[in-house]
Chain A
Amino acid sequence: MATFETKNKHAHLQEDIIKYLLILAAAISILTTFGILFSILFEAIEFFKLKSFVYFFTGTEWTPGVENSQFGALPIFAGTFMITAIAMAVALPIGLGSAIYMSEYATPNARNVLKPLLEILAGIPTVVYGFFAAITVAPFIVKISAAVGIEASFNSALASGVVMGIMIIPYISSLSDDVITAVPDSLRKGSLALGMTKAETIKDIVIPSAMPGIISATLLGISKALGETMIVVMAAGLRPNLSWNILEDMTTVTVRIVDALTGDQAFNSPATLSAFALGLALFVVTLILNIVSVRLIQKFKEKYKMSSL
């Protein structure tokens, strides 16, 4: 009896130790999130001690290197917005169209082949896309523009936007395909039985039903585009440029972060610290997009009582 008890105690202790080790491991994900938040936040605060917070969000002059440097990030945000918009203009119709074809028209066998094939696009390293954008797409755009008598920059927003769009296609198509497939068949039958054509059924019944999921996929795509770095570092410009002309060079938040942190400025100079202010803006925006996106997908799951997506 005595041995039995001591053994039990020993086992208990071991169980507890293991359990706490597991909790510790799990806590690392939280530490990481807060690590990112605080490391960015602290340096960003350092930056805003030196430079105006208001001007950062409203100013249009970004001159980090010079004396009396100014940090108005508006043109940087604008460039980020433009390139993201171009990317989504490419990725959304093509991604959604592909998703509709795979889920509504293709046979299940074809779908099983097509979907992973599209997902290869998501597995290609972004540095490879960057190379493609800079070496192939950008010169092509310059050539085409010249042919019609327009001048385009070798660092045009269009080149990086389009290539970024290609990269984002699978993010849109995969999730959209999932949610469209999850729309119950009874709705399609109900519409077809009223004498609707297949396309009318898809456009008027299926897509609206899957809308929360599609919006969620879109937000995820936007978040990807905002945070994408290599494509723009390699193919977009460095010059903050407040313009609507997508053939001009523009810069993005991520490009300026890389630029600020790979230079040889002192770490606590405003030029370097500005990277953290930009990083903070990026963190907050992508976090919000992600939270909204997850909420929407949860709503969709609840609506159609799906357990896994």
Chain B
Amino acid sequence: MDKNSIFYDPSLKRRHFKSKLFKYFTLSSLVVSLLFLGIFLLDMVLKGSSAVQQTYIQVEVSYNQESIDNYRSIVDKKYLNLLSRAALREVPEQMQANPSLMNTKEVVWILADDQVDMYMKKYYYKIGEKDLSTLEELQKNGMVDKKFNTIFFTHGDSKTPEYSGILSAFIGTILTLAVTMLVAFPIGVATAVYLEEFSKQNWWSEFLEININNLAAIPSILFGLLGLAIYINLFGLPRSSALVGGLTLALMTLPIIVVSSRAALRSVPASIRQAGYALGLTKVQVVKDHVIPLAFPGIMTGNIIGLAHAMGETAPLIIVGMIAFIPDSPSSVMEAATVMPAQLFTWAGMPERAYIERTAAGILVLLSVLISLNSLAVYLRKKFEVKW
């Protein structure tokens, strides 16, 4: 360009370069965040995918009185260290349930010990030399195989890693969240209805509003302190129970439900209300029969999001004792229970490598449930989205 032109400005080159640099900085921050998400999910899949299968060994089992008395004599002694103790302990029960088996022998697939499983999955393992040669022998004869890990989905926690599953934690989660939603749903929606439809703009409604905002920002662990001090110490509710856990989570979920329900109520146009009043309906009737039904999909969406939030919460539940060892699924909200994230926390702290794999698998299960819930919320919102 002509140096005499009024549009000649050599300093711009530098400024454009800086501008580009800035753009690439922002782009790379976004890429880095998404990369984190990707690495993180990939890491979980890599660590957890091996838990889909579990190693089994084909051995001859002898059903007789001796094995009922001592499970160690069910199989040949040399296999004992290779098999899951917990699985062997179940065999006598099977015999008692099915007496016709008595005094017979049978070749069956028995769950392998976690170290054998680690060996099969090519992780670090600790197996004695003698046991290892037995195992290699078995492997050569095709007596060792990996099968789909049903135990993980059908059993509760166990001190033997190969025998532990998430069922009891899953049931615990359902019980806890049932309590949570039974409490938080009516109170949350009622609060939203009051604030949107009944309260006048005054200090009281403002105070309520600020309060709900603050409640949403209080660190979750402090709700645990409340649960401990009030539900357990003051009211004497059973520690570790789904009831206490659920009540604690209910207070945490409340602001999420209130905020989203209010948004749903607000989206119902004033004309609907006026039409109701014009028909001579009272305020309660208008709200109950006309406003709430129209806002309901939005309210449900908010509740599902609140539910998903509560489902991932761990810290306050630890404080109220929901990290107990729970091998059997709780059958009532008063019994000691654990929830999925708390179960993952417990497993993550275990020394055995096999628990790591299970933790990652549990995380994948938990994330799947959460993603499903959130997708459901998005779907509901899209489906019932009405442009007024």
B33 CB–A CB distance under 8 Å: yes
Q: Produce 1/0 per residue, B19-32, CB < 8 A to A.
A: 11111011111101
B328 to chain A, nearest CB (A): 22
* B residues in contact with A97, CB < 8 Å: 25-26, 28-30
A32 to B250, CA, bound (A): 10
Digitize A131-154: 1 where CB-to-B-CB distance is under 8 Å, 0 elsewhere: 110111000000000000000000
Q: Determine the main DSSP class of B at the interface with A.
A: helix
Beyond A94-B32, A118-B37, A199-B20, 6 additional pairs, beta carbon < 8 A = A19-B198, A33-B218, A123-B312, A128-B312, A202-B22, A286-B218
**Contacts A36-B222, A132-B43 given; does A29 touch B211 at CB 8 Å:** yes
A residues neighboring B (CB under 8 Å): 11, 14-15, 18-19, 21-23, 25-30, 32-33, 35-36, 39-40, 42-43, 93-98, 100-102, 104-105, 114, 117-118, 120-121, 123-128, 130-132, 134-136, 166, 169-170, 173, 197-200, 202-203, 220, 223, 226-230, 233-234, 254, 257-258, 261-262, 267, 275-276, 279, 282-283, 286-287, 289-291, 293-294
A223 to B214, CA, bound (A): 12
A279 to B20, CA, bound (A): 47
B171, chain A: closest CB distance, angstroms:
18
Q: Which of B37, B44, B229 contacts A121 (CB 8 A)?
A: B37
5 smallest beta-carbon distances between A and B, as pairs: A227-B219, A97-B29, A125-B312, A25-B190, A39-B229
Partner of A15, one of B20, B282, B315: B282
| B225: Cβ under 8 A from any A Cβ | yes
Q: List 29 A-B contacts (CB under 8 A).
A: A18-B284, A22-B193, A25-B187, A25-B194, A26-B191, A28-B187, A36-B223, A36-B226, A94-B32, A95-B33, A97-B26, A97-B28, A100-B26, A101-B29, A104-B26, A118-B30, A125-B313, A127-B312, A135-B348, A200-B19, A202-B22, A223-B217, A226-B219, A229-B219, A233-B345, A254-B221, A262-B323, A283-B219, A283-B222
CB atoms of B30 and A198 under 8 A apart = no
Contacts of B78 in A (CB 8 A): none
Are B26 and A98 in contact, CB atoms less than 8 angstroms apart? yes
Distance (whole angstroms) from the CB of B203 to the closest CB of chain A: 13
Q: Say whether chain A's binding surface is mostly helix, strand, loop, or mixed.
A: helix
- Residues of B contacting A40 in the complex (Cβ-Cβ under 8 angstroms): 222, 225-226, 229
- Tell yes or no: B88 within 8 A of A by CB: no
A130 and B318 form a contact (CB under 8 A): no
- What's the minimum C-beta distance from A173 to chain B, rounded to whole angstroms? 7
Complex partner residue of B225 from A11, A29, A30, A39, CB under 8 angstroms: A39
Q: List residues of B whose CB falls within 8 A of some A CB.
A: 12, 15-16, 18-23, 25-30, 32-34, 36-37, 40, 43-44, 47, 186-187, 190-191, 193-195, 198-199, 207-208, 210-215, 217-226, 228-230, 233, 251, 254-255, 258, 282-284, 308, 311-315, 318-319, 321, 323, 341-342, 344-345, 348-349, 356, 359-360, 363, 366-367, 370, 374
Check A286/B348 contact, CB under 8 A, given A98-B26, A199-B22: no
In the complex, A257→B349 CA distance in Å? 18
From known contacts A234-B349, A261-B228, infer whether A94 and B40 are also in contact, taking CB-CB under 8 Å. Answer: no
A25-B194, A118-B33 known; A33 vs B26 contact (CB < 8 Å): no
CA distance in complex: A234, B341 (Å):
13
B-chain residues with CB within 8 Å of residue A104 when the two chains form the complex: 26
Contact B363 A128 (CB under 8 A): yes
| Chain B residue with the shortest CB-CB distance to A162 | B36
Residues B211 and A131 in contact, CB atoms below 8 Å apart: no
Q: Which of B40, B186, B223, B342 has most chain A Cβ within 10 Å?
A: B40
Contact check, A287 vs B284: say whether CB atoms are below 8 A apart: no
* B212: chain A residues within 8 A (beta carbon): 29
